[in-house]
Chains A and B, each alone.
Chain A
Amino acid sequence: MNRTKGDEEEYWNSSKFKAFTFDDEDDELSQLKESKRAVNSLRDFVDDDDDDDDLERVSWSGEPVGSISWSIKETAGNSGSSHEGREQLKSRNSFSSYAQLPKPTSTYSLSSFFRGRTRPGSFQSLSDALSDTSAKSYAPELGRPKGEYRDYSNDWSPSDTVRRLRKGKVCSLERFRSLQDKLQLLEEAVSMHDGNVITAVLIFLKRTLSKEILFRELEVRQVALRHLIHFLKEIGDQKLLLDLFRFLDRTEELALSHYREHLNIRDPDKRKEFLKTCIGLPFSAEDSAHIQDHYTLLERQIIIEANDRHLESAGQTEIFRKHPRKASILNMPLVTTLFYSCFYHYTEAEGTFSSPINLKKTFKIPDKQYVLTALAARAKLRAWNDVDALFTTKNWLGYTKKRAPIGFHRVVEILHKNNAPVQILQEYVNLVEDVDTKLNLATKFKCHDVVIDTCRDLKDRQQLLAYRSKVDKGSAEEEKIDALLSSSQIRWKN
C-alpha cells in the first residue's frame, strides 16, 4: 500500500454512506474498488505459501472432486469415447483409484460437515451411525422398507383402505364395485387431503367407470376434479382432458388446452397449420385476436425466413454479408420480428411482407413501440440518417420539426447504449425539453458543449466553474469555459 497513513485514515473515515442509492455508482464503487485493492494487495503474501497444505479449507470450491455432480460430468464427458477411453473411465470411477486423483484446490465435501468424526477415506459405517445416534430413540421406518409388502385382505372399509393407501401399501380396490362404494372411497380420500391417494382412487375410477358417469360425479367434487385434470395433463391424455372440459362446458380452458399443444410441434409449417385450427376456438375476445395474430405472424415468418436464408446463402446482399443472421426468425415474438425487419428490410416498400411498415400496419403496433424498435435497429447499424429521419416531421408550411413520441431523453439513452458518437448524442440531448434532465444527460454522456451552453443560458456561473474541473486540461472545452467566465457580456446569477 502506497498510501500514507494520513491518507488512509481520511479515506476510511470519510464515510460516504448518506442516503443509499444505486445511482451513486462512482462513490460506492470506488469505495468497493478501494477495499478490493486493499485485499488484493495482500494476495502476494497470502498466496506464496502453497495451497496444498492441510490448513482448514475454506468451505467452497469450484466443482469439488468427489462431489456427485462432478463425478456425473466426468461420466458424461467420457461416454461415447473410444474403448480405451472407457477402460480409463472405468478405472477412474472405481473406488480404488479415486485417491490418486489430483487434489482439488480446495474441497468442501460431506466429510467436512462431520469434521472430527471423519478422516478422508474412513467414513462412518451404517452401524456406527446407528449406535452413535441411539441416544435419541428414533430411526423411523429404517429397516422396514415400505411398499414391498402387500395385503390381499378384502375387508378393508373405505377409510381403512384410504389410510393404507396413504402409507404406500398396495391395496386392492377391486371390491369397490357399486357406484356408491366408489364415491365413498373417493370422499374418504378427499377428506384425508393426501393428493396421491386421491389420484390413486381416481385412476381406479377412471378405469372402472364410463367417462360420462365419472365426469358427472366429479363436476360436483371440485377437489377431486382438479386432481383428475392435473393427472390427465401429466400423463398427456389430451383427448380425455378435452372431453372433460367439453363436458364441463369450460370452453376457454378447452381452447387454451388445445392451443397449448402447438408448443410440442416443431416443424414450422405443421405448427402454422395447427394454429389455423385454433383460430375459431372459443377464446375470450382479447385472446382470439392474439391467436389470429400468432397465426399470421408465423405465416409471415415462414415466408421471410425462406427468402432471407436464400439471400444470405447467395451472398449477394450486402447487409447479410456484413451482418450475418444469428438465428432464424421463426417463432420469435412480434417485437423481435419487427426489429429484424427494421435491421434487414428497412427500406422495403410497404407492399412486401418483410417491410417494417407492413408489420406495423398488420399487427397494429403502437407508434411508440415502433419508434423504439426502429431506433434501436438503425442505431445498431449506425445509420444516423435513418435515425434523424425517424424524428423529423414536416408541418403543412414545409418547416421541419423534431418530434419523438417516446421523449428525447429515451432516444439519447438508446443511442448511448448503441455507442453513438458524441456529435450525434449532443444533437439529441439538445432536443430534451426539460433543462434539468438535459443537463443531467449531457453531464452523464460527456456532451461538454451542451453542458457549457446550458450553464451559460442559465447564467449559472457556479455550475460552470464546477464543470471546468471535469473537462480535460488545455482542451477546447476548457478554453470555451474560460472565455465565458471572463466574458463581461453575461450577467451571472451567482
Chain B
Amino acid sequence: MAFPHRPDAPELPDFSMLKRLARDQLIYLLEQLPGKKDLFIEADLMSPLDRIANVSILKQHEVDKLYKVENKPALSSSEQLCFLVRPRIKNMRYIASLVNADKLAGRTRKYKVIFSPQKFYACEMVLEEEGIYGDVSCDEWAFSLLPLDVDLLSMELPEFFRDYFLEGDQRWINTVAQALHLLSTLYGPFPNCYGIGRCAKMAYELWRNLEEEEDGETKGRRPEIGHIFLLDRDVDFVTALCSQVVYEGLVDDTFRIKCGSVDFGPEVTSSDKSLKVLLNAEDKVFNEIRNEHFSNVFGFLSQKARNLQAQYDRRRGMDIKQMKNFVSQELKGLKQEHRLLSLHIGACESIMKKKTKQDFQELIKTEHALLEGFNIRESTSYIEEHIDQQVSPIESLRLMCLLSITENGDARCSLDTHYGPEHLLTFSNLRRAGLLTEQAPGDTLTAVESKVSKLVTDKAAGKITDAFSSLAKRSNFRAISKKLNLIPRVDGEYDLKVPRDMAYVFSGAYVPLSCRIIEQVLERRSWQGLDEVVRLLNCSDFAFTDMTKEDKASSESLRLILVVFLGGCTFSEISALRFLGREKGYRFIFLTTAVTNSARLMEAMSEVKA
C-alpha cells in the first residue's frame, strides 16, 4: 500500500512561497486604495482566494464588507468600492452599470478594479465604451499559480480550455509564460525543456522572449528543477475522456474536487450536515489512498480501522499514569485519524452505491473495449442504449467522443432528440475542438484533398486552410496506441495491488497516452525515434526540445520534472506520473491550467445562454 519513494528521490521545492507572494501582492493592491472599502469578489476567485488569505487579513487592510459579483444592484453604502475579478466582459458591464447608476444618482465614490491574473484590452475597451474609463482605476493581481498540494500547482483557469481549444483565442498564453517566468525566477532556470502541441510551442517561445527581455534575473542561479515538459490537452483527449478509477480521480468524478477541497454531503458524513474537506498530502489517510486503484482502497481502510481499534484498545488495563500519557500524547493523533478514516469510508460507501446504481461495470467494460478496439458494434449499441435511457447527457456525449476519437469516425447519434435541440450547437463545438472527429477514412480523405486542390485560388486560401485543418484533426488513436504500446498485454489477471506500469490507473487496460509520451521523451532526453508518433499526433511542427549545457544542475535537480498541462490535467494522469516517478526515482511537479475530468471537458463545450 502507498508505495514509498525511493530513498534517492529528490526533495520537492517549497511552493508555499507562491502563496505568500500572492497574498502580499494583494495586500499591496488593497493598500493602494487607503481607507474603508467594500470588496466585490468574483465567484470563481473565492475559493482560490480562500486558500491564500482570509477575512481577517482583508479586514486588516480596511475591507469593510464583502460581496459576490453577481447581476444584482449593489447595496453597498461605502464610499470606496473595490472589485476583484477575472478579466471578463460581463464583469465590466456589471461594474459599468453600478458606476453609471451612481452617476445618475449624483453620487461620487472611488472605484478600483483589480484584474486577476491580468487585464485584457477588450475589458478596457468596454469600460471606455460605457463611459467610465477614468472613473475607475485598474490594477492587476498576477495571482496565477496556486499550490494545491506539495506537487500540484494550478492556475485555476478552467476557461483556458474553451478559449484556446475551441475558440482559438491565445489570450492566456501570456499568462502561462508569465507564470513560467515567475517559477524560473524563484527556482532557477530549467536546463532541459521539452514540449508538444501548438499552444505549448507558443507559450514556450513567449516565455523565452520574456526571459531575454528581463535578462539577468535568473542568471547564475542554480537550477532547482532539471526538466520542464509542456503538453497541449488536445494531444491526448482520450485519457481525459475515460472514467477514473484511482481514488482521487474517482472522488473528483463523483463529488467534484474544487480548488483542492471537496464538499462531502450528508450521505458521506453520516450526519445531517455537509463538510468541506481539504484533500492533500496533509491528510494522512487520504495521502495513502489517493493514488490507489479503487479496489485496493477498501482493504487499506479496513486495515487502518483494525489498527486504530487496536491502539484504542491498549488503554484498557492502563494505569493512571499510562493513561495520562496516552491522552496527552497519542489521543490527538488517533482522534484525527479516526475522523479522516470515517470520512473516507463514508466516501467509499457513497461512491460504491452510486457506481453500482449506474452499472459502472458495464460502462468500464465498454470503455476498455473502445480503447482496445474490439467489439465496436457492441460498444456502439451500448452507447445508443445509454442515450435511449436518458442516463445523463454529459455522460453520453463523453462516450460518443471517446468512440469517435478511438474509432476515428463521427459517431453522431440522435442525441438532439433526447437532450434538447440546443445540442446542435454543442455538436458543432465538439467537432471544432476535435473531440468529435469527421468521418474521413482513407479514400474519402484523398478524394477531399483532390477536390480542395482544384479549388485553389487566392480568394479561397482561407477556406482551404480551414478545410485542411479540420481534416488534420483526424485522430490516429489506434495507430498511436500500437506504436506506443498503450494497451498492455496481460497474461492472466492484472494485479492492481502491485501495479507494474502506469496502466494501473485504468485497471490495467490502458497506459495514459499523455504520460507515455512524457515517459518516452524523458528516457531519450529528446524526441528522437518518436517521429512517427509525433506525425500521427499531427504535431510535426510542434514538438520541440531545448537543452542548455548546464554544469550547475545537481543530479538531484535533474530528477525533478515540471510537467505543464495546457488545457487541464486529470487526477489519473497525476497518479500515473507519480507512479512513474517512484519507479524511476524521479519526482514530478504538476502545473496545470486547471484540474479537469471528462465531465468538465464536456461542459466546457456546451452552449448556454449569454
**In the complex, chain A residues 88-145 whose Cβ is within 8 Å of any chain B Cβ:** 89-90, 93-95, 98, 108-111, 113-114, 121, 123-124, 126, 129-130, 132-133, 136, 138-143, 145
Chain B nearest CB from A278 CB (Å) reads 10
Q: B422, A249: Cβ atoms under 8 Å?
A: no
Chain B residues with Cβ below 8 Å from A168 are 118-119, 140
On whether the beta carbons of A22 and B60 are closer than 8 Å, the reply is: no
Asked if A113 and B16 make an inter-chain contact with CB atoms under 8 angstroms apart, the answer reads yes
A72-B41, A229-B167 as given contacts; A293 in contact with B306, CB under 8 Å: no
Once the chains are docked, how many angstroms separate the CA of A111 from the CA of B138?
29
**B277 contacts partner chain A, Cβ-Cβ < 8 Å:** yes
User: Is A307 close to B, CB under 8 A?
Assistant: no
B139 near A147 (CB under 8 angstroms)? Answer: yes
Q: Is the CB of A32 within 8 A of B50?
A: no
Residues of B within 8 A of A163 (CB): 213
For residue B16, which residues in chain A have a CB less than 8 angstroms away from its CB?
113-114
State the Cβ distance, B281 to closest chain A Cβ, in Å. 11
Taking the complex as formed, is B59 at the interface, i.e. its CB lies under 8 A from any CB of chain A?
Answer: yes
Give chain A residues whose Cβ lies under 8 Å from the Cβ of B34: none
Task: Report the minimal beta-carbon distance from B210 to chain A, rounded to whole angstroms.
Answer: 9
**Pair B173/A195 contact, Cβ less than 8 Å:** yes
Cβ of B442 under 8 Å from chain A = no
Which residues of the partner chain B approach A111 to less than 8 Å between Cβ atoms? 54
Known A98-B59, A140-B185, A196-B121; judge A40-B24 contact (CB<8 A): no
Q: What is the size category of the interface that chain B forms with chain A?
A: 35 or more
| Cα–Cα, bound, A334→B140 (Å) | 47
Query: A220 and B335: CB pair below 8 A?
Result: no
Minimal Cβ-Cβ distance residue in A for B77? A86
A140 in complex: contacting residue of B182, B352, B390, CB < 8 Å: B182
Chain B residues with Cβ under 8 A from A146's Cβ?
A: 140
Interface residues of A in 343-388 (CB under 8 A from B): 363, 365, 368-369, 372
In the assembly, what is the distance between CA of A31 and CA of B46, in Å? Answer: 39
Q: Is B446 interfacial (CB 8 A cutoff)?
A: no
| Contact in complex: B65, A38 (CB < 8 Å) | no
A42 x B338 contact (CB < 8 A)? yes
Could you tell me if B352 and A32 are in contact, using CB atoms closer than 8 angstroms?
yes
Query: A110-B53, A110-B54 known; A222 and B465 CB under 8 Å?
Result: yes
> Are A145 and B209 neighbours in the complex by a CB distance under 8 Å?
no
Let me know if B172 and A195 touch, CB within 8 A: yes
Task: Let me know if B24 and A194 touch, CB within 8 A.
Answer: no
- Are the C-beta atoms of B140 and A147 separated by less than 8 Å? yes
Q: Return chain A residues, CB-CB under 8 Å to B295.
A: 17, 20
Which one of A21, A62, A90, A369 lies within 8 Å of B361 (CB-CB)?
A: A21
Which of A231-239, A433-441, A462-470 lies on the face that meets chain B? Answer: A231-239
The smallest C-beta distance from A70 to any residue of chain B, in angstroms, reads: 8
Q: Quick one: which of A289-346 are within 8 Å of B by CB? A: 290-291, 293-294, 297, 331-335
Distance between Cα atoms of A475 and B119 in the complex (Å): 75
Give the CA-CA distance A62 to B206 in the complex, in Å.
Answer: 42
> Which residues on B sit within 8 Å (CB–CB) of A76?
67-68
Q: Of the candidates A129, A196, A231, A233, which one forms a contact with B20 in the assembled complex, judged by CB atoms under 8 Å apart?
A: A129
- A residues 368-416 touching B (CB-CB < 8 Å): 368-369, 372
Interface of chain B residues 421 through 480 with chain A (CB within 8 A): 421-422, 424-425, 428, 461-463, 465-466
Say whether B305 faces chain A, with CB atoms less than 8 Å apart. yes
- Residue contact A226 to B49, C-beta cutoff 8 Å: no
Contact status of A20 and B496, CB under 8 A, knowing A36-B345, A95-B59, A260-B607: yes
Q: Mark A183-204, 1 if CB is under 8 A from B, else 0.
A: 0000000001111111110010
The yes or no answer to B391 lying at the interface (CB within 8 A) is no
Given contacts A68-B41, A75-B67, contact A35 B463 (CB under 8 A): no
- In angstroms, Cα B250 to Cα A20, docked, is 15
A6 on interface, CB distance cutoff 8 Å: no
Min distance, Cβ A419 to any Cβ of chain B, angstroms: 15
Q: Mark B93-109, 1 if CB is under 8 A from A, else 0.
A: 00000000000000000
Residues of B within 8 A of A25 (CB): 352, 356
Q: Determine whether B556 belongs to the interface, using a CB cutoff of 8 Å to chain A.
A: no
Residues on the A chain within 8 Å of B168, using CB = 223, 226-227, 230
**Residue in A21, A63, A198 whose CB lies within 8 Å of B170:** A198
B462 and A236 contact, CB distance less than 8 A: no
Question: Does the CB pair B28–A110 fall under 8 Å?
Answer: no
Q: Which of B58, B118, B275 is A60 in contact with, Cβ under 8 Å?
A: B275
- With an 8 A cutoff between CB atoms, is B409 at the interface? no
**B599 CB–A CB distance under 8 Å:** no
Q: Which residues of B contact A70 (CB under 8 A)?
A: 55
Q: Is B157 an interface residue (CB 8 A)?
A: no
Q: Is the CB of B56 within 8 A of A62?
A: no
Q: Are B59 and A372 touching (Cβ within 8 A)? A: no
Which residues of A are found within 8 Å of B334, using beta-carbon distances? Answer: 46
A residues with CB within 8 A of B = 1, 12, 15, 17, 19-23, 25, 28-29, 31-36, 38-40, 42-43, 45-46, 55-56, 58-64, 66-72, 75-76, 79-80, 89-90, 93-95, 98, 108-111, 113-114, 121, 123-124, 126, 129-130, 132-133, 136, 138-143, 145-148, 163, 165-166, 168, 192-200, 203, 219-220, 222-223, 225-227, 229-231, 233-236, 248-249, 252, 256, 259-260, 263-264, 287, 290-291, 293-294, 297, 331-335, 363, 365, 368-369, 372
Q: Can you list 25 A-B contacts with CB-CB less than 8 angstroms, sorted by A residue number?
A: A22-B361, A25-B352, A31-B302, A40-B342, A66-B54, A67-B50, A94-B59, A95-B59, A121-B56, A126-B28, A163-B213, A195-B169, A199-B171, A220-B462, A223-B168, A226-B167, A230-B168, A256-B425, A259-B424, A263-B422, A290-B424, A291-B424, A293-B417, A335-B418, A369-B388
Additional A-B contact list (4), CB under 8 Å, known A56-B332, A230-B168: A17-B299, A63-B276, A141-B25, A200-B121
Top 10 A-B pairs, shortest CB-CB distance = A20-B295, A195-B170, A226-B168, A195-B171, A95-B59, A200-B121, A60-B277, A294-B421, A263-B609, A193-B202
